[in-house]
Amino acid sequence: MRARRGELDAYEEIVRLHQTIAFRTAWVITRSAADAEEAAQDGFVKAHAALARFREGSPFRPWLLAIVANEARNRVRGSGRHVRLAQRVAEERRPDDAVPSPEAALLDSEQREELLAAIDRLPEPAREAIACRYLLDLSEEETAAALDCPPGTVKSRLSRGLDRLRLELGEAEA
Amino acid sequence: MSDLEQRLTQLRRELDWPETPDLATGVRTRLGDATKPAAAARRSARRGGVRHLLPPAGLRRSLALALVALLVLAGGVFAAVPGVRDAVLDFFGLQGATVERRAELPAAPEFRPLRLGSRTTLEQARGSLGFEPLVPRAAGRPAAVFVKDDVSGGELSLAYRAGPGLPEAASTKLGLLVGEFRGDLHPEYLGKIVSQATSTERMRINGARAVWIEGAPHLFFYRPPDSDFAETELRLAQNVLLLEHGNLLVRLEGAFSRERAVELAGSLR
């Protein structure tokens, strides 16, 4: 791997390839674009420093996402913040990316809001598992790496999360 | 795949994710700097590079304020700013800002886009600004960070959403807006025009000179170097604390109280 030999051009290409999924993974955890950007960037820098420890032949993305997600969790722990996913989605939608404003666009689908709100009400482990697996489209292995837990735990969190969502949405429709 | 899982998959496609920033460039810069000490040295030299060409900071400030005062009294500086022609009732300044009181405020829109510059992160701002950014720890982490390079050393803006202890200000739609720039390099960059109904209090916070402006909304504008004053846009501002912090001029704007402003200023690190 050229990047492991210290070729910055090669590592820059790797960052470009993975920056969207890394940023979104951090965003799912921090619920803040600014924090997610910092977490993802710090994650990439730390991953570069740790490239020598990366096992050649093993998948790179789960390894990277584990580092980025850890950075993101550190920021959430530091801030003590908990903001709803649906609210954060609306707040982050700024057409000119100028400043946050109360006029930020609202989610335009009631059904989507209902589903997002139901995800928000899930306990954190299930919520993050659902977000990583379905909203980020991570594999179970990648979800496990990002959430720093065994794949079996991801399966059970997903199962509990889906059951809870069905219950919530069923009650809402009743 | 169950119906719920299909809906979740559909949600993924419909979600408006925040735009992914250009991480690659920032990472490359950080890694490049880490492996090239000379680059950091060059950046450091650039930051302080103009200082040896200028008089000492205190003298620069005195000279600039004296010049601005003379021009104000002569009606020269503001003659190009539409509507700003009334007699000056009072005038004083900090390192980086001037405040003048007038009988009447010129007309200005209630809300004007803030034009804070390019969105960035604190980490990246540290690499691009000619000073170490200060964050009011009492307000936590900013929701957004912006930099502008209209002046040497750059200008930093920190935006905080409204929340407990930070009520939304009509002038910014934010809970707190922090602005920072090198006041020693630009002694007259920021201008304030207050009316007779606006209260101004000169104070010291941890020994540093400060001005608290409260009450009736007042106007503020920038005097970018090498720019025509006629292009300067006036904007209404709410309560504002101006503070000299080392070689920086820090500006805190919001709908908060004087006590809260002092607390925020005292927590700048």
Using CB atoms, which residue from A23, A100, A105 is nearest to B21? A23
Q: How far is A57 from chain B (nearest CA, A)?
A: 23
- Confirm whether B11 is domain-assigned: no
Taking residue B29's Cβ as centre, other Cβ atoms within 10 Å add up to: 15
At A138, the amino acid letter reads: L
What is the number of structural domains in chain A? 1
- Tokens 């065994």 correspond to A150
CA proximity to B141, closest of B121, B116, B127, B125: B121
B267 HSE (CA, 13 A, CB side):
15
Identify whether residues B122 and B246 lie together within a single domain. Answer: yes
Question: pLDDT value at position B47?
Answer: 36
Confidence of residue A112 (pLDDT cuts 50, 70, 90): confident
Overall number of domains in chain B: 2
Please indicate whether, in this complex, the C-beta atoms of B18 and A169 are within 8 angstroms of each other. no
Q: Is A106 exposed, middle or buried (0-12, 13-18, 19+ CB in 10 A)?
A: exposed
Give the chain B residue whose CA is nearest to the CA of A23.
B20
Q: Does B11 touch chain A (CB under 8 A)?
A: yes
> Do B122 and B138 share a domain, yes or no?
yes
CA distance B113 to A27: 27
Inside any domain, residue A109: no
Q: What angle do CA B255, B261, B263 make, to 5 degrees?
A: 140
Q: Is residue A100 part of a domain?
A: no
* Contact state of A19 with B14 under an 8 Å Cβ cutoff: no
pLDDT, mean of residues A152-172: 87
CATH code for the domain of A46:
1.10.1740.10
Among candidates A20, A42, A99 on the partner chain, residue whose Cβ is nearest the Cβ of B116: A99
Can you read off the two tokens belonging to residue B146?
């912006």
Task: Flag whether A74 is in a domain.
Answer: yes
d(CA A3, CA A12): 9
Q: Are residues B169 and B240 in the same domain?
A: yes
Asked whether the CA dihedral A102, A104, A105, A110 is positive or negative, the reply is negative
Nearest residue in chain B measured CA to CA from A169:
B4
Tell me the ipTM for this assembly: 0.76
Please calculate the CA angle B25-B31-B36 and round it to the nearest 5 degrees. 120
pLDDT, position A150: 92
Is residue A78 in a domain? yes
Q: What burial class does residue B86 get, using C-beta atoms within 10 Å of its C-beta: 0-12 exposed, 13-18 middle, 19+ buried?
A: middle
pLDDT tens readout for residues A36-46: 898 999 999 99
Tens digits of pLDDT across chain B (269 residues): 788 888 888 888 777 778 888 898 888 888 875 554 434 433 333 333 333 333 344 444 444 444 344 333 333 333 333 334 344 555 667 777 878 777 777 666 555 667 788 888 888 899 899 999 999 999 998 988 999 887 888 999 999 988 888 998 887 888 999 999 998 877 767 777 777 778 888 888 988 888 898 877 777 676 766 554 433 456 777 888 999 998 899 999 999 999 999 999 999 99
pTM: 0.44
A75-81: long-range contacts (C-beta < 8 A, 24 or more apart)?
Answer: A75/A30, A75/A35, A75/A38, A75/A39, A75/B141, A76/A29, A76/A30, A76/A35, A79/A35, A79/B140, A79/B141, A81/A31, A81/A32, A81/B140
Q: Measured between alpha carbons, how far is A133 from A144 in angstroms, rounded to an integer?
A: 10
